Amino acid sequence: MEPDSHMYDHDLQRLSTKRLIGKVAVITGGARGIGAATAKLFAQSGAYVIIADILDELGAKLANLIGGRYIHCNVAKEADVESAIQLALTWKGRLDIMFNNAGIAGPGGSITNLDMEQVKSLLSVNLHGVLHGMKHAAQAMIKCQNGGSIICTSSSAAIMGGLSGHAYTLSKVAIIGLMRSAACELGAHGIRVNCISPHGVPSEMLVSSFREFLGDVRPDEVSRIVGETGSLLRGRGASTEDVARAALFLASGDAGFITAHNLVLDGGYTSASSNMSFIYKYEEKEKRK
């Protein structure tokens, strides 16, 4: 769905406090989904936002809406990522927040017949793209001597098996390891490096995957299905805004002593099994009597 005058969600406006005033942020994959929700919330919180994406029309429209900047950026190409960082330095003379969010779903199927060229293509975006972002963001932040926050999007698939394809899982596990390794080095410069691992967010990528099996399913239906089968919060599913709020927290001074951390955003799904769901069903049945 294209961004329009209704992109500013009233709930986000209510929750947004000016925690990022004067900060400069680059968001890869920022034209839609999690990236777009985060771009809006960051801007509402006082940040100058650069949207880096390959979806030029959507990205430029959203950047104009939030008073930010847009740059075409294929994160698999290091030069593109470097250009996005340079835009921040040219525009505002600093970089405070790097959100390495761009990613693709990649091939599914059995590990016995994976197409290795497709795997390489996925890793060039999901893993190399994050590495490019970390590398050039770190260079800029060290040069500016203002510290900074680097955030990466991983996944619940990195925590437990069977949630996604093998190649996608590989890339998301590797991101967490890379985050922790980079945090060890960059902490000396006051740069914090963290991950967010969402579960079941009805982004375009997840909805497309569901449609392969369920037909023309809507995002709200995907959220309902995930909430019923993958959440301890009695049917509540995740939203792109949930991830945006987590990113805002990690980007802000409220998380000033948090680094090398993987913030899991899954409604408890990967931490515990809701085997007591039959109790809830019994309670609901009793209420209806």
**CATH label of the domain that carries residue 211:** 3.40.50.720
- Which carries the bigger pLDDT value, residue 226 or residue 76? 76
Residue 2 lies inside a defined structural domain of this protein: no
What's the rounded mean pLDDT across residues 111-131?
Answer: 97
Q: Which of 47-61, 70-84, 103-117 has the lowest mean pLDDT?
A: 103-117
Is the pLDDT score of 87 beyond 60?
yes
Mean pLDDT of the chain: 88
Q: Which of 51-60, 62-71, 147-156, 228-237 has the lowest mean pLDDT?
A: 228-237
Q: What is the pLDDT of residue 286?
A: 59
Residue 4 lies inside a defined structural domain of this protein: no
Other C-beta atoms closer than 10 Å to the C-beta of 188 total 8
Residue 169 lies inside a defined structural domain of this protein: yes
Is the pLDDT score of 289 beyond 70?
no
Residue 281 lies inside a defined structural domain of this protein: yes
Is the pLDDT score of 191 beyond 80?
yes
Residue 147 lies inside a defined structural domain of this protein: yes
Phi-psi region of 243 (alpha: psi -120 to 50; beta: other; left: phi over 0): alpha
Is the pLDDT score of 123 beyond 60?
yes
Q: What is the pLDDT of residue 233?
A: 80
Residue 155 lies inside a defined structural domain of this protein: yes
Active site amino acids:
168
Query: Which residues on neighbouring strands pair with residue 26, listed in sequence order?
Result: 50, 98
Q: What is the pLDDT of residue 231?
A: 78
Other C-beta atoms closer than 10 Å to the C-beta of 35 total 29
Q: What is the pLDDT of residue 201?
A: 84
Task: Count the domains in the chain.
Answer: 1
Q: What is the pLDDT of residue 21?
A: 97
Residue 77 lies inside a defined structural domain of this protein: yes
Q: Interior CA angle at 245 toward 85 and 30, to 5°?
A: 35
Residue 266 lies inside a defined structural domain of this protein: yes
127-157: pLDDT as tens digits: 999 999 999 999 999 999 999 999 999 999 9
Q: Which tokens sit at 57?
A: 């029309």
Residue 139, CB-side half-sphere exposure with 13 Å CA sphere:
13
Percentage of the chain exceeding pLDDT 90? 69
Q: Which tokens sit at 259?
A: 């680094």
Q: What is the pLDDT of residue 8?
A: 47
Domain range for residue 184?
10-287
